[in-house]
Amino acid sequence: MSLLFSPMKIGNLEIKNRFIHSATYEGMAADDGRVRDALIKRYAKLAKGEAGLIIPGYMFIHPLGQALKYQTGIYSDEMIPGLKKIAAAVHGHDGRVVFQIAHSGRQTTKELIGRKPKGPSAKWRNPVDFTKPVEMKEDEIHKAIRDFGSAARRAAEAGADGVQLHAAHGYLINQFLSPFYNDRKDKWGGSDENRFRFLKKVVTEVQSALPENMPLLIKLNSNDFTPRKGIVPSLAATYAKWLGDLKIDLVEVSCGSVDFAPFNECRGDIPVDEMAAGFPWWKRPFIKAKLNSWVGKFDLQEGYNIEAAKLIKPALGKIPLAVVGGIRKLKHMEEVIVRNNADFISMSRPFIREPNIVKKFRQNKTNTVSCISCNRCLAAILYHLPIRCYNKGLPLSK
């Protein structure tokens, strides 16, 4: 039997195969972040399709840390009953579920959170709406750390099998880690060790909030691909070594950022017309020109984070590593595992189109995913549409 279908443990949690549903924004929650039936059905379907580990879309830990409309929330105990239904739905089909928790930091909008976004530093205007973030104060930093711990406690109370910290894609933890976003001169910036301090404190806070032996995972950028130097693979390997010292249980390697490098994060086609039409009319010419300038520069490369994973994995020692990013063929997935480049294969867009893809692989019904990386599912976010495959087209008005 292929190693892809052999079990492996993440901490003390046994996963029945090497496939992970990587956290994917769903746009299916209520206005206040509460779980709705569509979310429960989505994750029941993925568990039934035999995804070994399911990580639902990032859950915001505080209303000021919400990134997008209809994002799932985990900022209040009132969220727990709905979150329990997600865990129960996955467990009902012999699946395992880890809740990803996140804070948007500067990567949100004033319209959504009611104030100017805040991050580690007041630098670099948002490239779309040109908003400049406000620098977080010391007490706000400590409040965010405590909020991560409270969210982790809620995840455990809701029945999740573990917690993943979102330290990638330009969100708050990534912002502290990255030399691009973080130019603080205090203990929270100025050196690799200081930039790591926020994540280190969050890890300690979350570990103290979780039951003993409940696994803690980290999603880490291997490369920010920001306009000026941010995290690069060598720095990511350093951070991975320090995370190993903190005894976390798995690192998932990704790249890019929503604001500054979205198509490094999701390589493939650029649906220019659909994406441009999702912006206000007065922004469309600028957005369309920018998108057209990118066409052909971000074509899908099979396994585009694997080279970075090869550098990061040795730094982790015995801690397992998952890699996400454009891995589409079963043969290639097997090679990644056999060559010990990673221990788990994470996928996002393929599971949107085929929630039963793992079962199809196991039953020898296909040897490749059918996702064509058209990225219309990414464009759908601009219209506040729920996640699904939109490869046949999107509406061009909100």
Task: Report if residue 379 sits inside a domain.
Answer: no
The mean per-residue pLDDT over the stretch 249-256 comes to: 98
Q: Which two tokens stand for residue 284?
A: 């469309």
Neighbouring CB atoms inside 10 A of 111's CB total 8
Mean pLDDT value across the chain: 97
Q: Give the C-alpha separation, 212 to 363, whole Å.
A: 37
292 within some domain: no
User: Is 386 contained in some domain?
Assistant: no
The pair of three-digit structure tokens given for residue 228, joined into one six-digit string: 């000026």
Catalytically annotated residue among 70, 75, 171, 239 = 171
CATH number at residue 315: 3.20.20.70
pLDDT category of residue 129 using cuts at 50, 70 and 90: confident
Residues 105, 178: contact at Cβ < 8 Å? Answer: no
Structure tokens at 319: 């801690």
171 catalytic? Reply is yes
Residue 102 domain flag: yes
Environment class of residue 73 by beta-carbon count within 10 Å: exposed (0-12), middle (13-18) or buried (19+)?
buried
In the chain, beta strands by DSSP E: 8-10, 13-15, 19-21, 53-54, 59-60, 96-102, 118-119, 134-135, 162-167, 216-221, 250-254, 321-324, 344-347
Which among 75, 114, 96, 80 is positioned nearest to 21, based on CA atoms? 96
Let me know if residue 192 belongs to a domain: yes
CA distance 257 to 70: 20
Residue-wise pLDDT for 271-296, tens only, equals 999 999 989 899 999 999 999 999 99
| Separation between Cα atoms, residue 286 and residue 284, nearest integer Å | 5
Say how many domains are in the chain. 1
Domain of residue 38: give its range. 3-109+136-264+299-370
Query: Residue 388 falls within a domain, yes or no?
Result: no
- pLDDT(396) > 80: no
> pLDDT tens digit string along 328-358?
999 999 999 999 999 999 999 999 999 999 9
Q: In this structure, is residue 67 part of a structural domain? A: yes
pLDDT at 398: 42
pLDDT digit string, tens, across residues 51-61: 999 999 999 99
